Amino acid sequence: MISARGVLCFSALLLLGTPPAHALEANLGVEGFLLEGKTAGGINLLLLFNEHVGLDMEAALLMTDEGTPREGLASDEVFLGFLLGLHVQLQRPINPLLRLGVGTGVDFWPLPGVAWGEFKVGMPLYAEARLHLFGGLGAFLRSRYYLLHSQGLAPGEDYSGQVAFPVLNSVGLVGVF
Amino acid sequence: MKRALSLAALLVGCMPMTLSHKGNIDFKRYRAVYVQPIALTGDGVFPGNDGASQAYLIDALQRDSGFSEVVGNPNALVDVVLAVSIDVDRSIDYSDDNDDDDYNYGSEYEYEAQLRFVLRTTNGVVLAEGSESESSRDYKEAMEDVMDDVALYFLRPYRI
């Protein structure tokens, strides 16, 4: 006979998930970028070597939405290119449910939709909150700022040149292995 | 507290992002370019390739550059003249994977194409000049890559 208390404990365990007790942990999933007038999304892989240090990799497709203002790109063209990111990430577990992290590395933006060989590159500094959900699932929210970047790579800047806040935000849903 | 909440909302919300390129010359002022026949030198040059190279560069500039008009006709009315020379050196490739490449390309040579370009106004004022280099085991690929680099140098301005 399963008691109500047992069910409650089991549910709580499911909700809390499993903390990163392993020497090597992989978080593999999808990542979507919160952009106005553009759509970007792809895969994200975080390999944690221990509780605090990991290697983060991103590969995403970048499209512009139809009808958004543009110059130098055909009005019916939507494909712009990719984001390929490689970062070192440091994490700090706050509790079994939540980890906070910071990372830096290289973001490479090849833009074959503009011209073959055209690219932008940036050195991001990002902060993220990673939540362990039930059933080996995790979610993260990441906000990045470019410490260094190519001319013409301008997160936070709109078409008219107004800069609200120069960050690029993304969210992800990952499986924890 | 209200300010902190606004900042938090901003950090998790959708943000704009602009990708742009200003262009290395003023394409509104210099709209039409004449591409001179390409001067090919070096021991790796295949004879009779000048015309094909010029045609390839014209196509690449028409596709990617900010020039409204790209011509190979010396009598056309243009704003600027692009002079290009390519030196192609051929060397024997001794790398270990040579056997595979022999099978693929029928060549054991490595071609290095070094390109120099000068863009002048019709009065002779130099607007831009530079050099590019590319290498490949395939002659055509080395030539096309180095000319693509020139087209990329004159990439049209964009803002997206």
Strand partners of residue A171: A32, A141
pLDDT at A11 (0 to 100): 43
Q: What is the pLDDT of residue A8?
A: 46
Looking at per-residue confidence, does A40 or B49 come out higher?
A40
* pLDDT band per the 50, 70, 90 thresholds, residue A2: very low
Phi, psi of B85 (to 5 degrees): -130, 140
Question: A172 lies in a domain?
Answer: yes
Contact A119, A110 (CB under 8 A): yes
Q: Which residues of chain B have pLDDT under 70?
A: 1-12, 48-50, 95-107
Please report the residues numbered 42 through 101 in chain A whose beta carbons come closer than 8 angstroms to any beta carbon of chain B: 64, 68, 70-73, 80
In the chain, the amino acid numbered A92 is R
Range B54-61, long-range pairs (CB < 8 A, 24+ positions): B56/B143, B56/B144, B56/B147, B57/B84, B57/B147, B57/B150, B57/B151, B60/B147, B60/B148, B60/B150, B60/B151, B61/B33, B61/B35, B61/B150, B61/B151, B61/B154
Q: Domain containing A56: what range?
A: 25-176
Distance from CA of A150 to the nearest CA of B (A): 10
Top-confidence residue, B98 or A145: A145
Q: Which residues of A150-176 are buried (b: 16+ CB within 10 A; e: fewer)?
A: eebbbbbbbbeeeeebebbbbbbebeb
Quickly tell me which residue has 């001179």 as its tokens. B36
Residue A69: pLDDT above 60? yes
Query: Does a structural domain hold residue A93?
Result: yes
- The total of structural domains in chain A comes to 1
CB-based contact B12 A141, cutoff 8 Å: yes
> For residue B51, what pLDDT is reported?
76
Across A61-88, average pLDDT:
94
Residue A14 lies in a domain: no
In-domain check, residue A16: no
Residue A32 lies in a domain: yes
Banded model confidence at residue A15, pLDDT cuts 50, 70, 90: very low
CATH code, A162: 2.40.160.20
Interface contact flag, A71 B158, Cβ < 8 Å: yes
Question: Model pTM?
Answer: 0.83
